[in-house]
Structure 1
Amino acid sequence: MIRKIALAALAATAVFHVAVFIQYGTLWVGALVGYQELLLVFAFLLATFWAHAPIARVFGADRLTRLPASAKALLEGSCVVLVSLVFWVVFFSLPQHFLVPSAEVTPKALRVSLAVSAVLSLFFYYFVEREHSRKNLAQELVRVAQLQKETFQAQLEALKNQVDPHFLFNSLNVLGSLIHLDPDRAVQFLGQLSDVYRALLDSGAQPLVPLGREMALVRAYASLMETRFGAALRVEWNIAPAWEQALVPPTAVQMLLENAIKHNGSTTRKPLIIKVSAAEGRLVVENNRQPRTDAVPSTRLGLQNIQRRYQHLTDRPVEIVPTAEAFVVRLPLLTTPAA
């Protein structure tokens, strides 16, 4: 708003003095009362700039796509001219009629005034508002590209962790043991492993996925880890079905579970307990803290990636709350389901 006021003030001053110079051959108006017209020009331009923004949104690149380009451009220009005519009546014709009723305005002067108002409106629309919209669009394209890059990085990181030789070695060891001890559980374990990879590959390049789809990956991964660690790991769920249509960045929740398992030790007597819940528009992942004896250095790259992706999507922050007893991460759910 401040930008529009400043621009309107500068433009009004320039237009007013150009008009004075053309009419009188000087830039100075003798009587101070003459500057009342400057205020009217300022009011006209400020209202025009204010009206241009919604017009630009209505005729944006992603709007009215069924219209031919020429028809869309003609309609857009017509709207700008129509708005300028309305404001001309409000800020020039009516004030002159009521404030100076004795003044005579020739038809030629009327036509010139209308034409100048329309040309000014078109000029500022296409060279100010459209340029501003173009810059905003360019910034939006950069933001989308950056978000897509962050999403690819998250998927690559998740796939790298799952393809990691250590992960595969442990998974195959568990699978080999189950084949001899419990063939049915071995088949189940293999299915869980397959579900994890399939869900990771299916997430694609989408910046957001429904929580229900993300939870399919998370539950498959949690089942895989619970089979591997047995009673030393327990994952508790408290997510109402209504939240499943809310949106989250893909693999974000799975990465939080992976971090909890990676950085905490667990035994059957002191199991690692991970709680996943949804409430008040947030997805909460909490685990009890019991650092491993062979502590893995934390690069926090996973958390940083999640935070950067959310920064591109919303003003609501990712909340990270570490305490001596627990580590809590709250992710904003980007849509609120109907009650």
Structure 2
Amino acid sequence: MKKRVPTFFLNLDRKVYRRFIRLALTPVVLLGVHGLYYLINPGNVLWSACTMQTTGQFTLDLLASFFFSWLIIESSIGIADGLEKYLPWSSSPLLRFLMQVMLTLLASASILLVENQVYTWIYPGKLTPKEELETWQFFVISLLVSLMISTVHTGYFLLTRWKNTLEEAAELKVRAMELNEVALQAELQSLKLQLNPHFLFNNFSVLSELILEDTAKASRFLDKLSKVYRYMIQNLKQDLVPLKDELIFVKAYQYLIQIRHGEQVYIQFEIDNGLLSKWIPPITLQLLIENAIKHNRATRTEPLTIYISQVENHLRVSNNLQPLPNPLPSTGLGLGNINNRYKILSCEMPKVGADETLFWVDLPVFDYPQYDPQDG
């Protein structure tokens, strides 16, 4: 089991902590010193002498003991605070420990010597050897208690610093996560913006030809193009879109393909209804279709057939391999864009495969909105 730090002491601010030390530890120290002294030497003449004191003498003795106990506490705390300014624990722990122990003992010894002189003044007379031994015993016990006070104060200080360090580390971690999320979103948006020029370049070139050849067909093509482009603009703001909406978009996009390529390109769909509830990055299928058309020859005798099907829980986009005799240089925009978007959204990446006759890309689909990009 993990050791739990007492949160009561950690939650005390500096001023409250010092006030607590003054009020609570002074009588504790007083009782502790005398209690330890009694346990070591219960037959001390001090205890019998206390019973013979008058009320005034007992009160004066108690106030003096209380005052010197308070001085020991203040000196121990003051030494620790002063050393932290000039010799912090982080710079040299061993030297700091030795200096704090030595200065605490010197300060406490000085206070105890003054206290002894005060008691000599209150109770004049020469001490017997036994009384001198008992006085030294009391002296040593008081020094040990002063070291205990210094240890408690140092422990509180180190625990407070540890707590603050954990809080700062947690804040930095949250801030780093926020900045990372902002950076990922900015990168995702820049990747989405790459789709527009790629799409427009291919279709505006076809539209310009249709305007010269068949204005009626050009008008229908422009109408379909505007609807497809509207879908793209609306959904590029989304990280994921329903697969069923993406398929509707692709089927509408088929009209543009037919105008551009006629019977040279076919698109076939084989998807179970269960997969339609899944989600996918927008415009992914259109990019893969464009990629297949770009890198394969397509004629009436050897048409290019693009299949959009289901393979287990993945969406597969495949086409028959018909490499161009003089292939165009690849910009890597299509597959690169898709891979980069999946890299941001998920730890599961698209899988690309090929054999002698077929090329395919398997796309992971998501259960959105339950899907959490942070979980991959």
Where on the TM-score scale, by shorter chain, does this alignment land: which range? 0.5 to 0.7
1:170 and 2:202 are equivalent in the alignment: no
CA distance in structure 2 between the partners assigned to 1:144 and 1:288 by the alignment? 40
Question: Per the alignment, in what secondary structure is the counterpart of residue 288 of structure 2?
Answer: helix
1:161 and 2:198 are equivalent in the alignment: yes
1:25 to partner: Cα distance: 5.0
Question: Per the alignment, in what secondary structure is the counterpart of residue 334 of structure 1?
Answer: coil
CA distance in structure 2 between the partners assigned to 1:294 and 1:170 by the alignment? 22
What is the TM-score normalised by the length of structure 1?
Answer: 0.57
CA distance in structure 2 between the partners assigned to 1:139 and 1:224 by the alignment? 42
The more displaced of 265-274 and 291-300 is 291-300
CA distance in structure 1 between the partners assigned to 2:248 and 2:179 by the alignment? 31
Larger radius of gyration: 2
Contact persistence 1:322–1:328 (CA under 8 A)? yes
Task: Return the match for 2:321 from 289, 304, 307.
Answer: 289
Contact persistence 1:245–1:337 (CA under 8 A)? no
Cα distance, 1:294–1:137 mapped onto 2, change above 3 Å:
same
Task: Return the match for 1:209 from 224, 227, 241.
Answer: 241
Contact persistence 2:207–2:222 (CA under 8 A)? no
Deviations 1:57-109 (A, max 9, x none): xxxxxxxxxxxxxxxxxxxxxxxxxxxxxxxxxxxxxxxxxxxxxxxxxxxx9
Contact persistence 1:288–1:325 (CA under 8 A)? yes
1:150 to partner: Cα distance: 3.4
CA distance in structure 1 between the partners assigned to 2:369 and 2:165 by the alignment? 42
Aligned match of 2:343: 311
Letter in 2 for 1:334: F
1:255 to partner: Cα distance: 0.8
Aligned match of 1:193: 225
1:311 to partner: Cα distance: 1.2
CA distance in structure 2 between the partners assigned to 1:132 and 1:158 by the alignment? 38
Runs of 4+ in 1 over 3 A off after TM superposition: 122-126, 174-179, 185-190
CA distance in structure 2 between the partners assigned to 1:279 and 1:210 by the alignment? 18
Deviations 1:180-229 (A, max 9, x none): xxx5x666433321222112211243222222333333222222102332
1:279 to partner: Cα distance: 4.1
1:131 to partner: Cα distance: 1.8
CA distance in structure 2 between the partners assigned to 1:25 and 1:337 by the alignment? 61
Question: Per the alignment, in what secondary structure is the counterpart of residue 360 of structure 2?
Answer: strand
Question: Per the alignment, in what secondary structure is the counterpart of residue 300 of structure 2?
Answer: coil
Letter in 2 for 1:202: Q
Letter in 2 for 1:131: A
1:143 to partner: Cα distance: 4.2
1:144 to partner: Cα distance: 4.3
- Between the aligned residues of both structures, percent identity stands at 31
**Residues paired across the two proteins, number:** 235
Aligned match of 1:138: 176
1:226 and 2:258 are equivalent in the alignment: yes
Aligned match of 1:301: 333
- The 5-angstrom pairing of residues 27-46 of structure 1 reads none
Contact persistence 1:265–1:290 (CA under 8 A)? yes
Contact persistence 1:246–1:335 (CA under 8 A)? yes
Letter in 1 for 2:292: A
- The 5-angstrom pairing of residues 21-170 of structure 1 reads 25=101, 120=159, 124=162, 126-128=164-166, 131-132=169-170, 134-153=172-191, 155-164=192-201, 167-170=203-206
1:248 to partner: Cα distance: 1.9
Cα distance, 1:209–1:234 mapped onto 2, change above 3 Å:
same
CA distance in structure 2 between the partners assigned to 1:332 and 1:139 by the alignment? 25
Contact persistence 1:263–1:296 (CA under 8 A)? yes
CA distance in structure 1 between the partners assigned to 2:351 and 2:323 by the alignment? 21
Aligned match of 1:255: 287
CA distance in structure 2 between the partners assigned to 1:127 and 1:295 by the alignment? 59
Question: Per the alignment, in what secondary structure is the counterpart of residue 321 of structure 1?
Answer: strand
Gaps of at least 5 residues in structure 2 are 4-88, 103-147, 371-376
What is the TM-score normalised by the length of structure 2?
Answer: 0.52
Cα distance, 1:126–1:25 mapped onto 2, change above 3 Å:
closer
CA distance in structure 2 between the partners assigned to 1:247 and 1:131 by the alignment? 36
1:326 and 2:363 are equivalent in the alignment: no
Question: Per the alignment, in what secondary structure is the counterpart of residue 194 of structure 2?
Answer: helix
CA distance in structure 1 between the partners assigned to 2:214 and 2:301 by the alignment? 23
CA distance in structure 1 between the partners assigned to 2:229 and 2:272 by the alignment? 26
Letter in 2 for 1:145: A
CA distance in structure 2 between the partners assigned to 1:147 and 1:302 by the alignment? 19
Task: Return the match for 1:235 from 262, 267, 277.
Answer: 267
Cα distance, 1:217–1:134 mapped onto 2, change above 3 Å:
farther
CA distance in structure 2 between the partners assigned to 1:329 and 1:264 by the alignment? 15
